[in-house]
Amino acid sequence: MTRRPHSPLALYLAAAYALLIVYASLHPFSGWRDNGAPPFAFLEAAWPRYYTGFDLAANVLAYIPLGFLFVPALQARLGIAAAALTAALAGAGLALGLETLQNFLPSRVPSNIDLACNGIGAMIGAAAGMNWGRELIDGGRLHRLRVHLVVHGPAADFGLVLLGLWLLAQFNPELLLFGTGDLRALLELPALPYSAERFAVIEAGVAAGGTLAAGLICWSLLRLHSRALLALLLLAPLAIKAFANAVLVNAAQFAQWITPGNMAGLAVGAGALLAATHLPQLAQRIVAALALLFATALVNLAPENPYLTAALAVWQQGHFLNFNGLTKLVSSLWPFAALSYLMLPRPRQGENA
């Protein structure tokens, strides 16, 4: 049997995760200035008077996936030992660069403790990657599952990363269900005036368009065209939405997204998705792109819901401030990356069998 070429999925995941860390570390990217202090003075600072176990753990945990992912991404070129060493050094180097850049942001404070925790996290991740990173590449269980369920090729790897980012965006409780591409703050777009009826219609349209677009992208990735599996995969973002509301807002708010508008949109989107799975591949991509554009347009027209605003008033972002900014950025950019994916060339029918 012909051996398949090495998949770049691990490299895509590592690069995407590194970009997410860069954004979270430098958010909100405003007010850049030179404070006159030596850029590396923070390396010699004393142990901070105030710190929490949460901060230390978060800084370690944030870099473990980075170190882990870089090992299988580099292993084919460098070998396992060199890949692990490079992954640990790359993680520590990225942390050093980002902490240094924080000198020039008024809202951020560089910290040698954060740097040390980030470096430890990258080392732990690299060590874990030596033992289990192969699961992402040839021979591992995850790789076998990917080969069994997902079509082959770099476009499919990009699509898997895209779906992972879509799931990440669902962790932001401020966003409409499956609502992505909100550019109002950037473009200063006016919103429609609020009325309960108008908001319910827009909410339903966003949920329907998002369900159809994401569902067709997921369908395009599946080697085994099982509608039951597709339905199961689409339950994941709903579980994430409930979890995010319970953890980031309030346990009592875990179901605040279950509204008549969202339920109607999910029903319409699921029905349209079921029908669209019978279309030719090119037609499915066109429908997905149109649904994506439709939902994105509605997101940018949606009025502010005073009831949702009141529910989120109890939301204390606190330690999750950077994470919430990150999910908002991913959500804003996701539909444009998804359109790029839908325009990628696909192999002829039968090449993936």
- Residue-wise pLDDT for 178-187, tens only, equals 989 988 877 7
Indicate if the alpha-carbon torsion angle 12, 15, 19, 24 is positive or negative: positive
Q: How far apart are the C-alpha atoms of 90 and 79, rounded to whole Å?
A: 16
Gap between the Cα atoms of 136 and 129, Å rounded:
10
Strand partners, 150: 222
Task: Assign 92 a pLDDT band (cuts: 50, 70, 90).
Answer: very high
Q: Structure pTM?
A: 0.73
Would you state the structure tokens that stand for residue 55, as one six-digit string? 């901060």
Range of the domain at 174: 152-342
The mean pLDDT value for 156-166 works out to: 89
Q: Is residue 108 part of a domain?
A: yes
- Among 114, 146, 178, the domain boundary falls at 146
Reported as a pLDDT band with limits 50, 70 and 90, residue 321 is low
Contacts of 201 (CB under 8 A, 6+ apart): 261
Check residue 206 and give its pLDDT: 94
- 112-128 pLDDT, tens per residue? 888 899 999 999 999 99
What values do phi and psi take at 349, rounded to 5?
-55, 130
Q: Residue 171: inside a domain, yes or no?
A: yes
Instruction: Tell me: do 84 and 207 sit in the same domain.
Output: no
User: Does one domain contain both 58 and 118?
Assistant: yes
197 and 323: one domain? yes
Which of 174 and 236 is assigned the larger pLDDT? 236
Please check whether residue 351 lies inside any domain of the structure.
no
- Residue whose token pair is 């994401």: 214
Query: Residue ranges of the alpha helices (H) in 79-111?
Result: 80-101
User: Mean pLDDT across the stretch 298-305?
Assistant: 84
What is the tally of structural domains in the chain? 2
User: In 3D, which of 234, 214, 349, 211 has the Cα closest to residue 280?
Assistant: 349
pLDDT confidence of residue 240: 87
Shared domain for 211 and 243, answered yes or no, is yes
Domain shared by 209 and 335, yes or no: yes
Please say if the pLDDT value at position 273 is more than 90: yes
Q: Is the same domain home to 260 and 331?
A: yes
Show which of 85, 113, 146 is a domain's final residue: 146
Closest CA to 216 of 329, 330, 339: 339
Task: Based on the fold, state whether residues 225 and 325 are members of the same structural domain.
Answer: yes
Same domain, 121 and 182: no
- Boundary of a domain, candidates 116, 146, 176: 146
Residue 64, burial from CB neighbour count under 10 angstroms (0-12, 13-18, 19+): buried
Residue 193 shares a structural domain with residue 243: yes
Are 48 and 105 in contact, with CB atoms under 8 Å apart?
no
pLDDT band (50, 70, 90) for residue 224: confident
| pLDDT at position 349 over 50 | no
Report the residue count for the chain: 353
Instruction: Establish if 4 belongs to a structural domain.
Output: no
Is residue 259 domain-resident? Answer: yes
Q: Would 349 be classed as within a structural domain?
A: no
Other Cβ atoms closer than 10 A to 308: 17
Q: Is residue 295 part of a domain?
A: yes
Cβ 252 vs Cβ 180: under 8 Å: no
| Per-chain mean pLDDT for the chain | 82
Residues 286, 183 within the same domain = yes
Asked if 89 contacts 143 with a C-beta cutoff of 8 angstroms, the reply is no
Please give the residue that has the higher pLDDT: either 272 or 149.
272
Do 221 and 173 share a structural domain?
Answer: yes
Q: Which of 120-124, 154-158, 274-278 has the lowest mean pLDDT?
A: 154-158
Question: 52 and 127: one domain?
Answer: yes
Question: Quick check: is 347 in a domain?
Answer: no
